[in-house]
Amino acid sequence: MENVFVFDHPLIQHKISLLRDKNTNTKEFRELVAEIAMLMGYEVTRNMPLKEVEIETPIGMAKTKVISGKKLGIIPILRAGLGMVDGMLRLIPMAKVGHIGLYRDPDSLEPVEYYCKLPVDVEEREIVVLDPMLATGGSASAAIQFIKNRGVKNIKLMCLIAAKAGIERMHKDHPDVEIYCAAVDEILNDHAYIVPGLGDAGDRLFGTK
């Protein structure tokens, strides 16, 4: 699958199994989402540009490297994307954070926007959109369209579980956006939940069931 990167690292796969388990409680679920986001963030930021600098060590001068160029922004899709923010900020504490609030209308299954606040210089940043679940792809596609409308060129999507239908929707609407995920599931049920998935990510994260 073009532009789709599935993380097969054993630590990530192990934690995804715990996340899927219906007996995992809210506290554990929250911790696991943050941990997986951090582990995935390590790879998602692999291509960040570096520049050479000269630093004086206690012994002498060293030519060494620091991150340069484009600054990073992370944008969680509310609510469930919030669970991935802390993990990413542990790696990139200087990243700016925007928020896009969307919920899926239970009847039409179409995303409805209720909040959008992005960093003022969002168009100068490389953006990573965070949402644990890519089901029909409607929410991610709409969120990414808002961000593109603000002039952002460089966008990545980081999710935990992606359904094939969501990946196809993203390929159709936003073929330029790379998708990073920890698992690809085959199907959706009649309510457009991912099967087997992990259930309702927002409810499991915040205990609102």
Among 133, 140, 159, 160, contact with ligand URA (rule: CB under 6 A): 133
If binding is defined by CB under 6 A, does position 157 make contact with ligand URA? no
Give every CB contact of residue 21 below 8 A, 6+ residues apart in sequence.
none
Which segments of the chain are extended strands (E)?
A: 4-6, 50-56, 61-67, 71-78, 96-97, 99-104, 111-117, 125-130, 133-134, 155-158, 161-163, 178-181, 183-185, 187-188, 194-195
Among 32, 118, 135, 160, binds ligand URA (CB under 6 A): 135
Map residue 204 onto helix, strand or coil: helix
Told to check if 133 binds ligand PRP by CB under 6 A, we report yes
Residue range at the interface with ligand PRP (CB under 6 A); choices 14-22, 29-37, 46-54, 99-107: 99-107
Per rule CB under 6 A, is residue 171 in the interface with ligand PRP?
Answer: no
Q: Which of 48, 51, 2 is nearest to 175 (CA)?
A: 2
Residue among 80 and 179 whose Cβ is closer to ligand PRP? 80
Six-digit token pair at 117? 């606040």
- Angle at alpha carbon of residue 197, lines to 188 and 89, rounded to 5°: 125
Question: Interacting stretch for ligand URA, rule CB under 6 A, among 66-74, 92-100, 173-181, 191-199?
Answer: 191-199
143 assigned ligand-binding residue: no
Site map (CB under 6 A) of ligand PRP, residues 101-130, x = contact:
-xxx------x-------------------
Positions touching ligand URA (CB under 6 A) are 80, 133, 135, 193-194, 197, 200-202
